[in-house]
Structure 1
Amino acid sequence: NKREIKHIGSKRFGVQFLLKSIYTNNGMLYFHTEIKNTSNIAFDIDYVSFKIVDKKVVKRTAMQEQVIEPLRAQNYVTVVHGKQSERTVFALEKFTIPDDKQLVIEVAEKDGGRHQTIVVENEDIVRANVIDELSIQ
């Protein structure tokens, strides 16, 4: 539950989206995220997307992005009510990122504009903590 990655997060429009930590076990990566809503208006989550995109977007070139679908999500919430926070753990297939690319995790609000985006580098994924004991339900 404690926040092990301190430098990845975004805070805009009274909503804070944090990546608390990354874990690995049996060829799976687990992304522990938290959404804090400090406003009085509920934050309705439309979707959460994981995609690998280019770091530098050069003009007149096709931007390549590879979407990664989470295999499972523990405690996946669709609404974060005002003055509350919710934590979710996403399970993804193991992957690494080339040097010129980065992982972008995006949370979009349904019928709103308070989208949150965080960027994860390859060195953060390589430093993922190993889980020895894991109870899967």
Structure 2
Amino acid sequence: MKNIIFVIALILTGATCPAQETTSRLITDLPKIFLSPGLSFHLQSPEPISYVDISPGFLKGDLPLANLLRLRLDKDSCSQLSPGLIGSITAVGETFIAQYQIFLLDDADLSRACVEMEIGEQHMRPIERSDISLSSAQISSHARSLLSRRESRPLRSVSKNGISLSLNGIYTAADLVFLDLNITNQGSIPYEIDQLKFEIVDKKINKATSYQSIPLPILYSLYPLGSFQSSFRNIYVLKKATFPAFKQLLISLSETQLSGRTASLSIDYRQVLQADTF
């Protein structure tokens, strides 16, 4: 009798349990894009697009800009296809994935063809990527907040050949280092930046040994390098790196003019360790 009651209880419990939610999506759930052969379609993304998947082989795509996907249907390849659903596309940004249905229109329905669309928030599904600690939007927001702060006494400064190079501050966020750098031109000739390099070098260079340096590429610059008359303040973002006490971070500046005015500023690793965090 107890066994019968137990079985009945299990049946009743199972009947009242909600169905398990699924994370899968059907192609019919995706927003639609209507294309016509011969017309280009542009998909704008709020973030750089790092991955694209296009299911139909007769649909060609490329990235003319980091945040712009261009699609085009080949007329000859589509001549044997019937109007309707022909496939899907997937675009992955830094923090989201977006997917769309692709519909083929016939020539009589050309007025419905899409030529441009922006990936809206309603089309985005969040995605976590282990290779990205901060999105471009987050990096830009941090950089602009630093630039909005009033300049204080620089951590390090050097002046040479009428050019001053000042480090206003060092800040860290996740695995990135933000450098607030100001360049001042004390001459009457505009200064046109040729190169601004960041590298890890030896503090003391022995002539008997070879000179070794490790370049650190600029991952993000709030403003592009160019020409300025008197002062140029900018935020540069580097990948966080560790280096021993006998090495230092060297910032080197050079110009394109024949005068070739240069300046170099060294930063001790201790200053990087003492950097403020967001």
* TM-score, normalised by the number of residues in structure 2: 0.44
* Counterpart pick for 1:15 among 145, 163, 178: 163
Check if 1:68 corresponds to 2:68.
no
**Alignment gaps of 5+ in structure 1:** 132-137
Q: Is the 8 A contact 2:199 2:213 kept in 1?
A: yes
Q: Is the 8 A contact 2:163 2:185 kept in 1?
A: yes
| Alignment partners' CA distance in 1, 2:153 and 2:210 | 32
Q: Is the 8 A contact 2:155 2:166 kept in 1?
A: no
Q: Tell me the alpha carbon deviations over residues 93-119 of structure 1, each in whole angstroms, 9 at most, x when there is no partner.
A: 111221110110001111332101000
| Alignment partners' CA distance in 1, 2:210 and 2:200 | 14
RMSD: 1.4
1:134 matched residue in structure 2:
none
Aligned residue type for 2:263: Q
Q: Secondary structure at the match of 1:95?
A: coil
| Alignment partners' CA distance in 1, 2:197 and 2:174 | 23
Give the drift of 1:5: 5.9
Give the drift of 1:14: 1.9
| Alignment partners' CA distance in 2, 1:117 and 1:26 | 27
Check if 1:46 corresponds to 2:203.
no
2:269 matched residue in structure 1:
122
| Alignment partners' CA distance in 2, 1:71 and 1:42 | 26
Higher Cα radius of gyration: 2
Give the drift of 1:3: 4.0
| Identity within the alignment, % | 26
The structure with higher relative contact order (CA 8 Å, sep 6+) is: 1
Higher strand share: 1
Higher helix share: 2
Q: How many residues align?
A: 129
1:135 matched residue in structure 2:
none
